[in-house]
A and B are shown apart, each in its own frame.
Chain A
């Protein structure tokens, strides 16, 4: 894949990020740039994508792999257009997170970690996202969905499906509650 290259806009954004750090400390921009790459290149970080980011920062590729594989938001394998991240930690579990996970598993016939055949949804469980007071919750793209009920989950995910757009962490989101 030699077509891995940021668009002009993204490259400009990347350069702006790099400028936040002192001379010679551009490696600091690695995580923000990997975020840009993941959002631009289909929601996951291929080797080519990581190599590309490493080349932009003039660091060894292994440094990008080490970092990308450390952080749980980076996907090192392809994911569906909508990555559904359901929190499973205590406060959410107390308010029914397990049931929400089961509900989604049944609805789409996938298990945690799997992707639907049409490539629409990937289900992932995650640790506390700071939404414990509005539990149970899930995150799709950058959007927090809180105080979930089965109906709410259904309508959110059905909307995603009819939207048919890839959701990323960099999406502009509707800020409802907070």
Chain B
């Protein structure tokens, strides 16, 4: 067991877990935001740097602070460790920088993006960003491409979190897409436009934290906050069959995996459940999905966003709407 203090809150946790996991055990008030870590994907995390925290005391044995901020999703706890998340001005500053970097090339096309309302980047920039954009350089642009019949790739929106690559590597039987090129030219691609044709490929959509990978069968253009998620299941021989159905009226518009309170998929589902079972009669409905991320899905409209009290940032405003007309 290790005793860890995060933002002044103390918890005893098993050895070998990360600072992020420990923080999540305490609760959302102290859990750092994440964009690239995903609890169900091995070796995920470390890339986006939004979860940086300050370790003010490394451990009981070695009480020195760590010289740099560390990625909480990839740093293990030690007994006696003391960590600053929102209590650390350095962390708040660094996170603001990371948000600025992530948005630097982001098209800010939320008004026309399918992910709007369930986009982690939107949440992140709202909570941790600063309102100014300080670049007048052209943003990276890419043609949107179809990866097969079911998935649309809007590379312009990608934040290179590598989650989709890890899905392809870890839960499908053969990866055909990946990261090509280098540096800020990196892109998610099949290189040749190759269909990702695989029983579990649809999970890439669910793990994508932004609107870079979207479900082409979700074709009724509807904002997610006008749809109602319910928990449902069916007997499926390929996967657990536990899903979220997204209703508009009586119609199932979309089927996705269930997400936990951190917005991470709980169980990966197969493509049959996702794409081919869109009749209410295919499913046993369990009840409304708990939606507890403070996202627009529960808020129903942007304006209803309430500023979480922990964040003492100046003039926060949702970036997306005001500056969305750029594209």
Contacts and interface: CB of A to CB of B under 8 A. Distances in A.
Direct A/B contact, Cβ within 8 angstroms: yes
Interface of A: 47, 60-63, 65-66, 69-72
Contact of A62 (B177, B181, B182): B177
Contact of B176 (A47, A62, A69, A70): A62
If over half of A's interface residues share one DSSP class (helix, strand or loop), that class is named, otherwise mixed; here it is helix
A154 B191 CA distance: 39
B174 interface: yes
Given A47-B192, A62-B191, A69 B182 contact: yes
Contacts of A72: 182
A70 B182 CA distance: 5
13 contacts: A60-B175, A61-B191, A62-B175, A62-B176, A62-B177, A62-B178, A62-B190, A62-B191, A63-B175, A65-B178, A66-B178, A66-B180, A69-B191
Contacts, number: 30
A63 B177 CA distance: 9
Given A47-B192, A65-B191, A60 B179 contact: no
Contacts of B177: 62
Interface in B155-177: 174-177
Contact of A60 (B176, B182, B192): B176
B179 to A, nearest CB: 6
If over half of B's interface residues share one DSSP class (helix, strand or loop), that class is named, otherwise mixed; here it is loop
Contacts of A71: 182
A68 B176 CA distance: 15
A60 B174 CA distance: 8
A63 B190 CA distance: 10
Given A62-B190, A65-B191, A70 B178 contact: no
B191 A70 contact: no
A66 B179 contact: yes
Contact of A70 (B174, B175, B181): B181
Q: Interface centre among A61, A62, A65, A71, by most B CB within 10 Å? A: A62
A65 B190 CA distance: 9
Contacts of A60: 174-176
B183 to A, nearest CB: 9
A135 B4 CA distance: 55
Nearest to B191: A65
Contacts of A70: 180-182
Contacts of B182: 69-72
A60 B175 CA distance: 7
A70 B191 CA distance: 13
Contacts of B180: 65-66, 69-70
A69 B181 contact: yes
Contacts of B190: 62
Interface string B184-219: 000000111000000000000000000000000000
A42 to B, nearest CB: 19
Contacts of A61: 176, 191
A165 B176 CA distance: 37
A6 B254 CA distance: 49
Nearest to B182: A70
B9 to A, nearest CB: 42
Q: Interface centre among B176, B180, B182, B190, by most A CB within 10 Å? A: B180
B199 to A, nearest CB: 17
By Cβ-Cβ distance, the 3 closest A-B pairs, closest first, are: A65-B191, A69-B180, A66-B178
A63 B178 CA distance: 8
Given A47-B192, A61-B176, A70-B182, 18 more contacts: A47-B191, A60-B174, A62-B175, A62-B190, A62-B191, A63-B175, A63-B178, A65-B178, A65-B191, A66-B178, A66-B179, A69-B180, A69-B181, A69-B182, A69-B191, A70-B180, A70-B181, A71-B182
A72 B185 CA distance: 12
Nearest to A63: B178
Nearest to B190: A62
Q: Interface centre among A60, A66, A70, A72, by most B CB within 10 Å? A: A66
Contacts of B179: 66
Nearest to B189: A65
Contacts of B175: 60, 62-63
Contacts of A66: 178-180
Contacts of A62: 175-178, 190-191
A76 to B, nearest CB: 9
A105 B175 CA distance: 42
A173 B148 CA distance: 47
A70 B180 CA distance: 7
